[in-house]
Amino acid sequence: MCPVQGSMASSFAPPKLADFILTEKLGSGTYATVYKAYRKTDSREAVAVKVVSKKSLNKASMENLLTEIEILKTVRHPHIVQLKDFQWDSENIYLILEWCSGGDLSRFIRSRRILPERVARRFLQQIACSLKFLHEKNISHLDLKPQNILLSGSVLKLADFGFAQYMSPWDEQSALRGSPLYMAPEMVCRRQYDARVDLWSVGVILYETLFGRAPFASRSFAELEEKIRSDKPIELPAGARVSRDCRDLLLRLLDRDPDSRISFEEFFLHPFVDLEHMPSAESLGKAKELVLRAVQKDQEGERAAALSLYCSALEHFVPAIHYETDRQRKEVLRQKVNQYVSRAEELKALVASDNRISFERAKSSRDILREMSKDHPRLLTALDLAAAAVAKEDCGLEDYETLDLYQQSLGELLLALAAESQGRRRELLHGEIKSLMSRAEYLKEKIKIRETQRDVDKDPVSESVRTSCCLQ
Protein backbone atom coordinates (compact mmCIF):
# COMPACT_ATOMS: atom_id res chain seq x y z
CA MET A 1 0.00 0.00 0.00
CA CYS A 2 2.44 2.58 -1.17
CA PRO A 3 1.55 6.03 -2.58
CA VAL A 4 4.23 6.02 -5.28
CA GLN A 5 3.81 9.39 -6.94
CA GLY A 6 5.28 8.80 -10.37
CA SER A 7 3.65 8.05 -13.73
CA MET A 8 1.78 4.79 -14.38
CA ALA A 9 -0.98 4.49 -16.95
CA SER A 10 -4.25 2.83 -15.99
CA SER A 11 -6.79 1.23 -18.28
CA PHE A 12 -9.57 1.59 -15.67
CA ALA A 13 -11.56 4.77 -15.08
CA PRO A 14 -10.81 6.24 -11.65
CA PRO A 15 -13.67 6.64 -9.15
CA LYS A 16 -15.65 9.87 -8.93
CA LEU A 17 -15.07 12.28 -6.06
CA ALA A 18 -17.18 15.39 -5.62
CA ASP A 19 -14.49 18.03 -5.14
CA PHE A 20 -11.68 16.45 -7.17
CA ILE A 21 -10.86 15.27 -10.68
CA LEU A 22 -8.90 12.00 -10.41
CA THR A 23 -6.44 11.42 -13.27
CA GLU A 24 -3.69 8.82 -13.72
CA LYS A 25 -3.13 5.90 -11.37
CA LEU A 26 0.16 6.20 -9.53
CA GLY A 27 0.35 2.89 -7.70
CA SER A 28 -1.68 0.21 -5.98
CA GLY A 29 -1.47 -2.31 -3.16
CA THR A 30 -3.59 -4.93 -1.43
CA TYR A 31 -6.09 -2.46 -0.01
CA ALA A 32 -5.60 0.81 -1.86
CA THR A 33 -4.98 2.51 -5.18
CA VAL A 34 -3.40 5.96 -5.41
CA TYR A 35 -4.32 8.53 -8.07
CA LYS A 36 -3.08 11.95 -8.96
CA ALA A 37 -5.97 14.43 -8.71
CA TYR A 38 -6.81 18.12 -9.01
CA ARG A 39 -9.10 20.11 -6.79
CA LYS A 40 -12.17 21.52 -8.61
CA THR A 41 -11.38 25.12 -7.79
CA ASP A 42 -9.63 27.99 -9.55
CA SER A 43 -6.35 26.98 -7.89
CA ARG A 44 -6.44 23.49 -9.48
CA GLU A 45 -4.33 22.28 -6.56
CA ALA A 46 -2.64 18.93 -7.26
CA VAL A 47 -3.12 16.22 -4.63
CA ALA A 48 -2.70 12.46 -4.29
CA VAL A 49 -5.89 10.52 -3.49
CA LYS A 50 -5.54 7.15 -1.79
CA VAL A 51 -8.67 5.14 -2.57
CA VAL A 52 -9.38 2.27 -0.15
CA SER A 53 -12.06 -0.22 -1.15
CA LYS A 54 -14.31 -1.02 1.82
CA LYS A 55 -14.88 -4.56 0.50
CA SER A 56 -11.14 -5.32 0.72
CA LEU A 57 -10.88 -4.40 4.41
CA ASN A 58 -10.91 -6.98 7.17
CA LYS A 59 -10.99 -6.05 10.88
CA ALA A 60 -7.19 -5.64 11.18
CA SER A 61 -6.80 -3.57 8.01
CA MET A 62 -9.74 -1.35 9.01
CA GLU A 63 -8.05 -0.71 12.38
CA ASN A 64 -4.80 0.11 10.57
CA LEU A 65 -6.59 2.56 8.27
CA LEU A 66 -8.32 4.31 11.17
CA THR A 67 -4.99 4.59 13.01
CA GLU A 68 -3.36 5.98 9.85
CA ILE A 69 -6.09 8.64 9.54
CA GLU A 70 -5.91 9.47 13.27
CA ILE A 71 -2.11 9.88 13.16
CA LEU A 72 -2.01 11.90 9.94
CA LYS A 73 -4.84 14.17 11.09
CA THR A 74 -2.90 15.10 14.24
CA VAL A 75 0.67 15.48 12.88
CA ARG A 76 1.98 18.46 10.95
CA HIS A 77 5.64 18.34 9.98
CA PRO A 78 7.62 19.52 6.92
CA HIS A 79 9.01 15.99 6.41
CA ILE A 80 5.74 14.06 6.77
CA VAL A 81 3.18 13.89 3.96
CA GLN A 82 0.17 15.96 4.98
CA LEU A 83 -3.32 14.46 5.08
CA LYS A 84 -5.47 17.30 3.79
CA ASP A 85 -8.85 15.61 4.17
CA PHE A 86 -10.61 12.24 4.09
CA GLN A 87 -14.00 11.33 2.65
CA TRP A 88 -16.06 8.20 2.09
CA ASP A 89 -19.00 6.87 0.12
CA SER A 90 -20.79 3.51 -0.07
CA GLU A 91 -17.82 1.80 -1.77
CA ASN A 92 -14.57 3.57 -0.80
CA ILE A 93 -12.69 5.61 1.76
CA TYR A 94 -10.61 8.44 0.27
CA LEU A 95 -7.47 9.95 1.81
CA ILE A 96 -6.61 13.28 0.17
CA LEU A 97 -2.85 13.69 0.58
CA GLU A 98 -0.24 16.31 -0.21
CA TRP A 99 1.16 15.90 -3.74
CA CYS A 100 4.88 15.14 -4.03
CA SER A 101 6.06 15.61 -7.61
CA GLY A 102 9.45 13.86 -7.31
CA GLY A 103 8.26 10.28 -6.93
CA ASP A 104 9.64 8.04 -4.20
CA LEU A 105 13.15 7.52 -2.86
CA SER A 106 13.32 4.00 -4.31
CA ARG A 107 12.90 5.29 -7.86
CA PHE A 108 15.37 8.08 -7.13
CA ILE A 109 18.02 5.60 -5.93
CA ARG A 110 17.45 3.36 -8.96
CA SER A 111 17.93 6.31 -11.31
CA ARG A 112 21.25 7.21 -9.62
CA ARG A 113 22.38 3.65 -8.66
CA ILE A 114 24.20 5.01 -5.61
CA LEU A 115 24.15 8.40 -3.88
CA PRO A 116 27.21 10.42 -2.77
CA GLU A 117 27.64 10.34 1.00
CA ARG A 118 26.84 14.07 1.25
CA VAL A 119 23.48 13.55 -0.49
CA ALA A 120 22.68 10.43 1.57
CA ARG A 121 23.49 12.39 4.72
CA ARG A 122 21.17 15.28 3.78
CA PHE A 123 18.37 12.80 3.12
CA LEU A 124 19.12 11.00 6.40
CA GLN A 125 18.89 14.29 8.32
CA GLN A 126 15.37 14.82 6.98
CA ILE A 127 14.32 11.26 7.89
CA ALA A 128 15.84 11.69 11.36
CA CYS A 129 14.07 15.02 11.82
CA SER A 130 10.67 13.44 11.09
CA LEU A 131 11.44 10.40 13.27
CA LYS A 132 12.42 12.65 16.19
CA PHE A 133 9.06 14.40 15.87
CA LEU A 134 7.21 11.05 15.78
CA HIS A 135 9.29 9.55 18.60
CA GLU A 136 8.39 12.47 20.88
CA LYS A 137 4.72 11.63 20.23
CA ASN A 138 5.27 7.87 20.81
CA ILE A 139 4.43 7.09 17.18
CA SER A 140 6.25 4.29 15.36
CA HIS A 141 6.04 4.08 11.56
CA LEU A 142 6.83 0.32 11.33
CA ASP A 143 7.07 0.31 7.53
CA LEU A 144 10.02 2.56 6.73
CA LYS A 145 11.41 1.86 3.26
CA PRO A 146 12.45 3.97 0.23
CA GLN A 147 9.06 3.31 -1.45
CA ASN A 148 7.35 5.05 1.49
CA ILE A 149 9.54 8.16 1.37
CA LEU A 150 8.48 10.75 -1.21
CA LEU A 151 10.34 13.68 -2.76
CA SER A 152 8.96 17.16 -3.18
CA GLY A 153 11.85 18.93 -4.91
CA SER A 154 14.82 18.09 -2.66
CA VAL A 155 12.59 17.68 0.42
CA LEU A 156 11.87 14.17 1.71
CA LYS A 157 8.51 13.31 3.27
CA LEU A 158 7.53 10.14 5.13
CA ALA A 159 4.39 8.58 3.69
CA ASP A 160 2.12 5.54 4.06
CA PHE A 161 1.34 5.28 7.78
CA GLY A 162 -0.81 2.18 7.15
CA PHE A 163 1.17 0.11 9.69
CA ALA A 164 1.95 2.97 12.10
CA GLN A 165 1.10 2.59 15.78
CA TYR A 166 1.11 4.62 18.95
CA MET A 167 3.85 2.84 20.92
CA SER A 168 5.50 3.86 24.16
CA PRO A 169 9.20 2.87 24.33
CA TRP A 170 8.28 -0.11 26.53
CA ASP A 171 5.38 -1.34 24.38
CA GLU A 172 5.91 -4.61 22.57
CA GLN A 173 4.13 -5.93 19.47
CA SER A 174 4.02 -9.37 17.87
CA ALA A 175 2.11 -8.88 14.59
CA LEU A 176 4.32 -8.88 11.48
CA ARG A 177 4.34 -5.43 9.87
CA GLY A 178 6.35 -3.91 7.06
CA SER A 179 8.39 -5.33 4.20
CA PRO A 180 10.81 -8.26 4.77
CA LEU A 181 13.77 -6.51 3.11
CA TYR A 182 13.53 -3.62 5.61
CA MET A 183 12.12 -5.55 8.58
CA ALA A 184 14.23 -5.81 11.74
CA PRO A 185 15.38 -9.39 12.47
CA GLU A 186 13.55 -9.50 15.83
CA MET A 187 10.23 -9.08 13.99
CA VAL A 188 10.81 -12.37 12.16
CA CYS A 189 12.97 -14.31 14.63
CA ARG A 190 11.37 -13.38 17.95
CA ARG A 191 7.95 -12.14 16.87
CA GLN A 192 8.43 -9.66 19.70
CA TYR A 193 9.55 -6.11 18.93
CA ASP A 194 9.24 -2.48 19.93
CA ALA A 195 9.83 0.99 18.44
CA ARG A 196 13.52 0.22 17.82
CA VAL A 197 12.60 -1.64 14.61
CA ASP A 198 12.31 1.80 12.94
CA LEU A 199 16.02 2.38 13.63
CA TRP A 200 16.94 -0.87 11.84
CA SER A 201 14.86 0.21 8.84
CA VAL A 202 16.66 3.58 8.76
CA GLY A 203 19.96 1.67 8.68
CA VAL A 204 18.76 -0.40 5.71
CA ILE A 205 17.63 2.76 3.87
CA LEU A 206 21.00 4.49 4.50
CA TYR A 207 22.85 1.35 3.36
CA GLU A 208 20.76 1.22 0.17
CA THR A 209 21.31 4.90 -0.66
CA LEU A 210 25.09 4.46 -0.34
CA PHE A 211 25.55 1.03 -1.97
CA GLY A 212 22.53 0.67 -4.28
CA ARG A 213 21.06 -2.39 -2.58
CA ALA A 214 19.70 -3.44 0.82
CA PRO A 215 22.01 -5.54 3.06
CA PHE A 216 19.65 -8.56 2.79
CA ALA A 217 19.13 -8.23 -1.00
CA SER A 218 18.36 -11.79 -2.21
CA ARG A 219 17.36 -13.76 -5.32
CA SER A 220 14.58 -15.64 -3.54
CA PHE A 221 12.44 -15.43 -0.41
CA ALA A 222 14.19 -18.54 1.00
CA GLU A 223 17.58 -16.82 0.65
CA LEU A 224 16.15 -13.66 2.23
CA GLU A 225 14.74 -15.59 5.19
CA GLU A 226 18.08 -17.35 5.69
CA LYS A 227 19.90 -13.99 5.81
CA ILE A 228 17.35 -12.53 8.26
CA ARG A 229 17.63 -15.53 10.60
CA SER A 230 21.43 -15.71 10.42
CA ASP A 231 23.56 -14.63 13.40
CA LYS A 232 26.22 -13.19 11.09
CA PRO A 233 26.86 -9.46 11.77
CA ILE A 234 26.08 -7.02 8.98
CA GLU A 235 29.19 -5.97 7.06
CA LEU A 236 29.71 -3.14 4.60
CA PRO A 237 30.49 -4.11 0.98
CA ALA A 238 34.16 -4.83 0.25
CA GLY A 239 35.99 -1.62 -0.61
CA ALA A 240 33.22 0.61 0.74
CA ARG A 241 34.52 4.19 0.93
CA VAL A 242 32.52 5.96 3.59
CA SER A 243 33.55 8.26 6.41
CA ARG A 244 34.28 6.92 9.88
CA ASP A 245 31.12 8.50 11.32
CA CYS A 246 28.99 7.06 8.52
CA ARG A 247 30.43 3.55 9.01
CA ASP A 248 29.92 3.78 12.78
CA LEU A 249 26.28 4.81 12.40
CA LEU A 250 25.49 2.15 9.78
CA LEU A 251 26.89 -0.70 11.88
CA ARG A 252 25.16 0.54 15.05
CA LEU A 253 21.80 0.89 13.30
CA LEU A 254 22.18 -2.55 11.69
CA ASP A 255 22.91 -4.38 14.94
CA ARG A 256 20.78 -7.54 14.94
CA ASP A 257 20.31 -7.32 18.72
CA PRO A 258 17.84 -4.51 19.54
CA ASP A 259 19.30 -4.25 23.06
CA SER A 260 22.74 -3.31 21.72
CA ARG A 261 21.44 -1.37 18.69
CA ILE A 262 21.89 2.42 18.83
CA SER A 263 19.10 4.07 20.84
CA PHE A 264 16.83 6.80 19.48
CA GLU A 265 18.54 9.38 21.69
CA GLU A 266 22.02 8.32 20.50
CA PHE A 267 20.81 8.29 16.88
CA PHE A 268 19.46 11.85 17.03
CA LEU A 269 22.75 13.05 18.58
CA HIS A 270 25.08 11.04 16.30
CA PRO A 271 27.71 13.20 14.54
CA PHE A 272 26.82 11.76 11.12
CA VAL A 273 23.14 12.66 11.54
CA ASP A 274 24.20 16.11 12.80
CA LEU A 275 20.71 17.58 13.21
CA GLU A 276 22.37 20.74 14.56
CA HIS A 277 23.49 21.64 11.00
CA MET A 278 20.42 20.50 9.10
CA PRO A 279 18.99 23.21 6.78
CA SER A 280 16.18 24.90 8.71
CA ALA A 281 14.53 28.25 9.46
CA GLU A 282 17.03 28.67 12.34
CA SER A 283 20.19 28.14 10.25
CA LEU A 284 20.65 31.79 9.23
CA GLY A 285 20.16 33.16 12.74
CA LYS A 286 22.76 30.76 14.17
CA ALA A 287 25.19 31.67 11.35
CA LYS A 288 24.81 35.42 11.90
CA GLU A 289 25.36 35.12 15.64
CA LEU A 290 28.60 33.17 15.13
CA VAL A 291 29.93 35.39 12.34
CA LEU A 292 29.49 38.51 14.52
CA ARG A 293 31.66 36.87 17.18
CA ALA A 294 34.18 35.84 14.48
CA VAL A 295 34.45 39.42 13.19
CA GLN A 296 34.97 40.69 16.75
CA LYS A 297 37.79 38.18 17.42
CA ASP A 298 39.27 39.02 14.02
CA GLN A 299 39.35 42.73 14.90
CA GLU A 300 40.97 41.91 18.25
CA GLY A 301 43.74 40.01 16.47
CA GLU A 302 42.82 36.60 17.89
CA ARG A 303 43.38 34.73 14.63
CA ALA A 304 42.88 31.13 15.75
CA ALA A 305 39.68 31.96 17.64
CA ALA A 306 38.38 34.01 14.70
CA LEU A 307 39.13 31.18 12.24
CA SER A 308 37.32 28.66 14.44
CA LEU A 309 34.26 30.92 14.72
CA TYR A 310 34.20 31.65 10.97
CA CYS A 311 34.25 27.89 10.31
CA SER A 312 31.44 27.29 12.81
CA ALA A 313 29.43 30.09 11.17
CA LEU A 314 29.99 28.57 7.71
CA GLU A 315 28.59 25.24 8.95
CA HIS A 316 25.28 27.08 9.44
CA PHE A 317 25.55 29.45 6.46
CA VAL A 318 25.67 26.62 3.89
CA PRO A 319 22.46 24.98 5.23
CA ALA A 320 20.89 28.49 5.33
CA ILE A 321 21.65 28.92 1.60
CA HIS A 322 20.10 25.56 0.79
CA TYR A 323 17.03 26.31 2.96
CA GLU A 324 16.40 29.68 1.27
CA THR A 325 13.91 29.35 -1.60
CA ASP A 326 13.96 32.92 -2.97
CA ARG A 327 16.60 33.01 -5.75
CA GLN A 328 17.56 36.65 -5.22
CA ARG A 329 18.00 36.29 -1.45
CA LYS A 330 19.87 33.03 -2.02
CA GLU A 331 22.35 34.78 -4.37
CA VAL A 332 22.90 37.69 -1.95
CA LEU A 333 23.57 35.16 0.81
CA ARG A 334 26.01 33.24 -1.41
CA GLN A 335 28.02 36.40 -2.13
CA LYS A 336 28.19 37.24 1.57
CA VAL A 337 29.28 33.72 2.47
CA ASN A 338 31.99 33.81 -0.22
CA GLN A 339 33.42 36.91 1.50
CA TYR A 340 33.56 35.03 4.82
CA VAL A 341 35.19 32.04 3.09
CA SER A 342 37.85 34.36 1.61
CA ARG A 343 38.59 35.83 5.04
CA ALA A 344 38.75 32.35 6.56
CA GLU A 345 41.27 31.36 3.87
CA GLU A 346 43.43 34.39 4.75
CA LEU A 347 43.24 33.53 8.45
CA LYS A 348 44.08 29.90 7.69
CA ALA A 349 47.39 31.00 6.12
CA LEU A 350 48.16 33.30 9.06
CA VAL A 351 47.32 30.63 11.65
CA ALA A 352 49.48 28.13 9.73
CA SER A 353 52.38 30.52 10.09
CA ASP A 354 51.63 30.97 13.81
CA ASN A 355 51.41 27.18 14.30
CA ARG A 356 54.65 26.34 12.52
CA ILE A 357 56.90 27.06 15.50
CA SER A 358 54.71 25.25 18.04
CA PHE A 359 54.32 22.23 15.71
CA GLU A 360 58.12 22.03 15.27
CA ARG A 361 58.57 22.17 19.03
CA ALA A 362 55.99 19.40 19.44
CA LYS A 363 57.90 17.24 16.95
CA SER A 364 61.06 17.25 19.06
CA SER A 365 59.01 16.45 22.18
CA ARG A 366 57.33 13.60 20.29
CA ASP A 367 60.76 12.09 19.47
CA ILE A 368 61.72 12.16 23.13
CA LEU A 369 58.38 10.61 24.12
CA ARG A 370 58.92 7.80 21.60
CA GLU A 371 62.31 7.00 23.14
CA MET A 372 60.71 6.89 26.60
CA SER A 373 57.87 4.61 25.39
CA LYS A 374 59.86 1.66 23.96
CA ASP A 375 58.65 -0.54 26.83
CA HIS A 376 55.02 0.41 26.17
CA PRO A 377 53.92 -1.15 22.81
CA ARG A 378 50.36 0.22 22.89
CA LEU A 379 51.56 3.79 23.49
CA LEU A 380 54.18 3.37 20.77
CA THR A 381 51.48 2.24 18.30
CA ALA A 382 49.38 5.30 19.16
CA LEU A 383 52.39 7.56 18.57
CA ASP A 384 52.99 5.83 15.22
CA LEU A 385 49.39 6.63 14.24
CA ALA A 386 49.94 10.25 15.25
CA ALA A 387 53.17 10.42 13.23
CA ALA A 388 51.38 8.93 10.21
CA ALA A 389 48.63 11.56 10.50
CA VAL A 390 51.18 14.39 10.73
CA ALA A 391 53.09 13.00 7.72
CA LYS A 392 49.91 12.75 5.62
CA GLU A 393 48.91 16.30 6.51
CA ASP A 394 52.40 17.64 5.77
CA CYS A 395 52.17 15.98 2.34
CA GLY A 396 48.95 17.90 1.64
CA LEU A 397 46.53 15.04 2.32
CA GLU A 398 44.10 17.20 4.27
CA ASP A 399 41.11 14.87 4.28
CA TYR A 400 38.87 12.81 6.55
CA GLU A 401 41.21 9.80 6.41
CA THR A 402 43.96 11.92 7.95
CA LEU A 403 41.49 13.30 10.50
CA ASP A 404 40.47 9.72 11.36
CA LEU A 405 44.13 8.87 12.05
CA TYR A 406 44.37 11.83 14.43
CA GLN A 407 41.18 10.73 16.20
CA GLN A 408 42.33 7.11 16.49
CA SER A 409 45.70 8.13 17.95
CA LEU A 410 44.08 10.59 20.36
CA GLY A 411 41.67 7.91 21.59
CA GLU A 412 44.58 5.61 22.44
CA LEU A 413 46.75 8.37 23.89
CA LEU A 414 43.98 9.56 26.22
CA LEU A 415 43.63 5.99 27.53
CA ALA A 416 47.40 5.87 28.05
CA LEU A 417 47.34 9.22 29.85
CA ALA A 418 44.66 7.97 32.27
CA ALA A 419 46.87 4.99 33.18
CA GLU A 420 50.17 6.93 33.29
CA SER A 421 51.67 7.79 36.69
CA GLN A 422 53.20 11.19 37.49
CA GLY A 423 56.55 11.91 35.88
CA ARG A 424 58.32 13.23 32.79
CA ARG A 425 56.64 10.78 30.39
CA ARG A 426 53.22 11.86 31.62
CA GLU A 427 54.13 15.53 31.05
CA LEU A 428 55.31 14.80 27.51
CA LEU A 429 52.23 12.68 26.82
CA HIS A 430 49.97 15.49 28.03
CA GLY A 431 51.78 17.96 25.76
CA GLU A 432 51.55 15.59 22.78
CA ILE A 433 47.80 15.19 23.23
CA LYS A 434 47.33 18.97 23.37
CA SER A 435 49.42 19.42 20.23
CA LEU A 436 47.58 16.68 18.32
CA MET A 437 44.19 18.05 19.38
CA SER A 438 45.27 21.44 18.07
CA ARG A 439 46.38 19.90 14.77
CA ALA A 440 43.16 17.87 14.45
CA GLU A 441 40.99 20.94 15.10
CA TYR A 442 43.01 22.97 12.60
CA LEU A 443 42.68 20.19 9.99
CA LYS A 444 38.94 20.01 10.64
CA GLU A 445 38.68 23.75 9.97
CA LYS A 446 40.63 23.40 6.71
CA ILE A 447 38.26 20.63 5.59
CA LYS A 448 35.24 22.76 6.53
CA ILE A 449 36.50 25.69 4.46
CA ARG A 450 37.13 23.44 1.46
CA GLU A 451 33.68 21.82 1.75
CA THR A 452 32.03 25.22 2.11
CA GLN A 453 33.72 26.42 -1.09
CA ARG A 454 32.42 23.30 -2.84
CA ASP A 455 28.87 23.49 -1.46
CA VAL A 456 28.19 27.23 -1.39
CA ASP A 457 27.44 27.50 -5.11
CA LYS A 458 25.37 24.35 -5.46
CA ASP A 459 23.19 22.20 -3.26
CA PRO A 460 24.34 18.58 -3.74
CA VAL A 461 20.81 17.30 -3.08
CA SER A 462 19.15 19.68 -5.56
CA GLU A 463 21.83 18.86 -8.14
CA SER A 464 21.14 15.15 -7.72
CA VAL A 465 17.39 15.71 -7.93
CA ARG A 466 17.76 17.74 -11.15
CA THR A 467 20.12 15.15 -12.66
CA SER A 468 17.74 12.37 -11.68
CA CYS A 469 14.82 14.16 -13.32
CA CYS A 470 16.85 14.45 -16.54
CA LEU A 471 17.56 10.71 -16.48
CA GLN A 472 13.94 9.67 -16.17
Q: Are residues 331 and 262 in the same domain?
A: no
For residues 316 and 422, membership in a common domain is answered with: yes
Residue 54 vs residues 10, 27, 60, 363: alpha-carbon distances, Å: 21, 18, 13, 76
Same domain, 269 and 411: no
> Is residue 1 a part of any domain in this protein?
no
Known catalytic residues are: 143
CATH code: domain of residue 211: 1.10.510.10
Residue 466: inside a domain: no
Helix-helix angle 424-455:377-394, to 10 degrees: 40
Residue 50 marked in a binding site? yes
Percentage of residues in the chain having pLDDT higher than 70: 92
Residues 413 and 305 in one domain: yes
CATH of the domain at 83: 3.30.200.20
pLDDT attached to residue 1: 47
* pLDDT at residue 8 in the model: 41
**H or E element, residue 386:** helix 377-394
Q: Provide the pLDDT confidence category of residue 472 given band limits of 50, 70 and 90.
A: very low
- Going by pLDDT thresholds of 50, 70 and 90, the confidence category of residue 4 is very low
Residue 468 has pLDDT above 60, yes or no: no
Residue 45 falls within a domain, yes or no?
yes
* Residue 471 counted as domain residue: no
- 314 and 432 share a domain? yes
Better pLDDT: 19 or 170: 19
The whole-number pLDDT of residue 149 equals 96
| Residues 318, 344 within the same domain | yes
Domain residue limits at 50 = 20-98
Above 60 in pLDDT, residue 91? Answer: yes
Q: Are residues 370 and 400 in the same domain?
A: yes
Q: Are residues 132 and 255 in the same domain?
A: yes
Residue where a domain terminates, one of 240, 274, 308: 274
pLDDT at 203 over 60: yes
Domain shared by 92 and 120, yes or no: no
How many C-beta atoms lie closer than 10 Å to residue 300's C-beta?
Answer: 10
From 245, 274, 303, give the residue that closes a domain: 274
Q: How many domains does the chain have?
A: 3
Region 143-152: what's the mean pLDDT? Answer: 94
87: left (phi over 0), alpha (psi -120 to 50) or beta: beta
pLDDT value, residue 206? 97
Q: Which residues, at least 6 apart from 452, have a Cβ–Cβ distance to it below 8 Å?
A: 314, 315, 317, 318, 337, 341
The average pLDDT across 40-66 equals: 88
Greater pLDDT, 292 or 393: 292
Q: Would you say residue 467 lies in a domain? A: no
Is the domain of 263 the same as that of 122? yes
Residue 461 within a domain: no
Indicate whether 10 belongs to any domain: no
Does residue 168 register a pLDDT over 90? no
Residue 351 belongs to some domain of the structure:
yes
**Band of pLDDT at residue 460, cut at 50, 70 and 90:** low
Q: To the nearest whole number, what is the mean pLDDT of the chain?
A: 86
pLDDT of 123 higher than 90 = yes
230 and 360, same domain (yes or no): no
Claim to verify: residue 88 and residue 230 sit in the same structural domain = no
What are the tens digits of pLDDT across the range 310-339?
Answer: 999 999 998 999 888 888 998 999 999 999
| pLDDT tens-digit map of 208-248 | 999 999 998 888 888 888 888 888 888 899 888 888 899 99
